[in-house]
Amino acid sequence: MDGCIFCKIASGEIPSNTIYEDDDFRVILDLGPATKGHALVLPKAHYADLFEIPEETLAGAAAVGKKVAATMKKTLGCDGLNLVQNNGEAAGQTVMHFHLHVIPRYKNDGQHILWKPTSPTPEELVAIRDEILKG
Ligand code: AMP
Ligand code: ZN
């Protein structure tokens, strides 16, 4: 897509620190990493987000993320790993080309990727379930 920076990076038009590439995906190091090794799985085709990406491409991105995660566990010796995928500004998406974050985690790395839990009542949970399911 014209003007999309991740399209240009995925195609190789803009150089990146690539750690994996195949016909459909490129995995690059994030320029503003949360931790050492933070990478982004980019499909080479343009999809804005989870709602646009076809299921088989999503499955492919997950498989590539798994491969890269296994490599990082071995080579970086991370203690854990988050897969994160943001959709929409409200969820923190800043680049509107689908990407899967692969974030190696280290004990005491000082990052805050997990959420703050809330405490709905059992009745509120039932109401939320019903709202989701009402179609
Ligand atoms: P998100 O907030 O989920 O849309 O994530 C966008 C990510 O892309 C952020 O972690 C940025 O640091 C990263 N980013 C933005 N531009 C570039 C770039 N040119 N090369 C590598 N990473 C980038
Ligand atoms: Zn794009």
- What confidence score (pLDDT) does residue 64 get? 98
Pocket residue to mutate for ligand 1, from 5, 17, 26, 31, most atoms within 8 A of Cβ: 31
User: Which pLDDT tens digit goes with each residue over 91-103?
Assistant: 999 999 999 999 9
- What confidence score (pLDDT) does residue 112 get? 87
Known catalytic residue at 99: yes
pLDDT > 90? residue 122: yes
DSSP strands (E only) in the chain:
18-21, 25-29, 39-43, 80-84, 100-105
pLDDT > 90? residue 135: no
Nearest atom (ligand 1) to Cα of 84: 3
* Residue 85: alpha-carbon gap to chain centroid: 3
Query: From the CA of 135, how far away is ligand 2's center (Å)?
Result: 31
pLDDT > 80? residue 85: yes
User: Which pLDDT tens digit goes with each residue over 18-57?
Assistant: 999 999 999 999 999 999 999 999 999 999 999 999 999 9
Q: What is the pTM of this model?
A: 0.96
Residue 16 main-chain phi, psi, to 5 deg: -150, 170
Query: From the CA of 104, how far away is ligand 2's center (Å)?
Result: 25
**What's the average model confidence in pLDDT over 52-73?**
98
Q: In what order do the strands lie in the sheet with 100-105?
A: 18-21, 25-29, 39-43, 100-105, 80-84
**What's the average model confidence in pLDDT over 104-119?**
93
Task: Please answer whether residues 35 and 113 qualify as being in contact, where contact means their C-beta atoms are separated by less than 8 angstroms.
Answer: no
Query: From the CA of 9, how far away is ligand 2's center (Å)?
Result: 9
What percent of the chain has a predicted confidence (pLDDT) above 70? 99
